[in-house]
């Protein structure tokens, strides 16, 4: 009897191991998908660079001016899962992404896969970047290649067990890595609001901070942009829907002006981590800020569960 029980246990463990290995496999873009990524335009890519907030994480902490284009990494992102450190994504061939191909870059942004085939941690917001258009990814890659190479690797992540097992990220991706819209806009939504949906839900990755997360760290679509605890533990990230506690009393012009100037309708100024984000968006064409504003006024109004905005700004 005992040998049969042992054999059954071994079989169950073997089946579970095979299932885990299969379910967590990296799933890179196929040849047909990669054929959409042609040579990019660096001039157009600069707009995507600021929209995507690359320098906010990958420039050295507290960088200003031209130093924001030196993408050496090093910023620490403190979360419940451990401390993630933004890597060097400069054009340095050894320590940055200077040796990457466009296929490597597209797989990182769309599928969360590193060039060596390992899963990237979703602290890198590929759950949002997965919605990016191939041309925008190609253009961004072309612009990044024009930026200065910076030698030196950023320190490694400090991740708690079991989240330090990268293979397991494949299960997270099965649950949360999608390329469909987070919200359904009203049928009569304007073309401007639809353009804003792409900017906010894709390269702008606004939901990564403004949306609550499940215990597994995935964004909750039914609470999209309704505010969330600040991962740093200081205050919270505000509700930016038209719902109670959000920005329902702001007009589209108020939102666009805030994104351009950093000033709210009541003459308060942007604060905390949003300062850097606002400065990035201020570099975009006015039409982008108008589209973002139109989208934020068109999404479902939700009551914010997090009202303590100390140190997080608007």
Q: Annotate 234-295 with DSSP letters as a single string.
A: SSEEPP-SSSTTTTTTS-HHHHHHHHHHSB-TTS-B--TTHHHHHHHHTTS-HHHHHHHHHH
The SS3 call for residue 228 is strand
Give me 72's structure tokens: 């050496």
Computed on alpha carbons and rounded to an integer, the radius of gyration of the chain in Å comes to 21
Task: State the DSSP H helix or E strand holding residue 158, giving kind and residue range, or none if neither.
Answer: strand 158-159
Phi, then psi, of 313 in degrees rounded to 5:
70, -175
Query: What is the tens place of the pLDDT at every residue in 86-118?
Result: 999 999 999 999 999 999 999 999 999 999 999
Same structural domain for residues 197 and 139? Answer: no
Does residue 3 lie within any of the structural domains? no
Same structural domain for residues 240 and 149? Answer: no
Q: Which domain holds residue 269?
A: 191-298
Q: Where are the alpha helices (DSSP H) in the chain?
A: 2-23, 31-34, 42-52, 54-58, 102-111, 126-129, 134-144, 169-176, 191-201, 207-210, 252-261, 274-281, 286-298
Same structural domain for residues 91 and 205? Answer: no
Same structural domain for residues 84 and 197? Answer: no
Contacts (Cβ under 8 Å, ≥6 apart) of 308: 235, 236
In total, how many domains does the chain have?
Answer: 2
Which of 168, 159, 166, 196 minimizes the C-alpha distance to 181?
196
Q: Phi/psi zone of residue 251: left (φ > 0), alpha (ψ -120 to 50 degrees), beta?
A: beta
Average pLDDT over residues 300-310: 68
State the CB neighbour count (10 A cutoff) for residue 104: 17
Same structural domain for residues 206 and 91? Answer: no
Does residue 303 lie within any of the structural domains? no
Does residue 206 lie within any of the structural domains? yes
Same structural domain for residues 161 and 69? Answer: yes
CA distance 119 to 250: 40
**Last residue in a domain, options 176, 206, 237:** 176
Does residue 184 lie within any of the structural domains? no
CB half-sphere exposure, 272, CA atoms < 13 A: 19
CA distance 314 to 310: 10
**Last residue in a domain, options 121, 152, 176:** 176
Query: What is the tens place of the pLDDT at every residue in 73-83?
Result: 999 888 888 89
Same structural domain for residues 172 and 99? Answer: yes
Does residue 23 lie within any of the structural domains? no
Q: What pLDDT is stored for residue 17 in this prediction?
A: 65
Give me 98's structure tokens: 């200077």
Query: What is the tens place of the pLDDT at every residue in 244-275?
Result: 889 999 999 999 999 999 999 988 888 788 88
Query: What is the tens place of the pLDDT at every residue in 6-44?
Result: 666 776 766 666 766 667 788 999 999 999 999 999 999
The SS3 call for residue 211 is coil
- Are 23 and 102 in contact, with CB atoms under 8 Å apart? no
């Amino acid at each position: 009897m005992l040998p049969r029980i042992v054999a059954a246990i071994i079989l169950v463990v073997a089946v579970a191991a095979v299932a885990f290995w299969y379910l967590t496999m990296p799933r890179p873009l196929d040849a047909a998908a990669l054929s959409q990524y042609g040579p990019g335009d660096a001039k157009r890519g600069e707009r995507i660079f600021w929209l995507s907030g690359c320098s906010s994480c990958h420039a050295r902490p507290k960088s200003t001016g031209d130093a924001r284009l030196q993408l050496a990494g090093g910023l620490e992102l403190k979360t419940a899962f451990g401390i993630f450190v933004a890597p060097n994504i400069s054009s340095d061939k050894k320590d940055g992404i200077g040796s990457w191909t466009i296929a490597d870059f597209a797989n990182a942004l769309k599928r969360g896969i590193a060039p060596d085939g390992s899963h990237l941690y979703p602290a890198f917001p590929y759950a949002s970047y997965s919605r990016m258009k191939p041309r925008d990814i190609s253009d961004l890659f072309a612009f990044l290649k024009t930026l200065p190479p910076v030698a030196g690797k950023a320190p490694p992540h400090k991740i708690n067990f079991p989240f330090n097992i990268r293979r397991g990220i494949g299960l997270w991706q099965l649950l949360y890595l999608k390329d469909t819209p987070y919200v359904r806009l009203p049928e009569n939504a304007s073309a401007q609001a639809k353009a804003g949906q792409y900017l906010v839900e894709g390269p702008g990755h606004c939901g990564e901070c403004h949306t609550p997360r499940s215990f597994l760290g995935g964004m909750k679509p039914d609470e999209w942009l309704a505010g969330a605890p600040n991962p740093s533990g200081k205050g919270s990230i505000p509700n930016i829907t038209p719902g109670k506690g959000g920005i329902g009393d702001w007009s589209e012009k108020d939102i666009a002006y805030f994104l351009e100037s950093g000033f709210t309708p009541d003459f308060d100024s942007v604060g905390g981590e949003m300062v850097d984000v606002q400065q990035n968006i201020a570099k975009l064409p006015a039409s982008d800020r108008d589209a973002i504003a139109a989208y934020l006024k068109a999404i479902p109004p939700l009551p914010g569960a997090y009202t303590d905005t100390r140190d997080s700004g608007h």
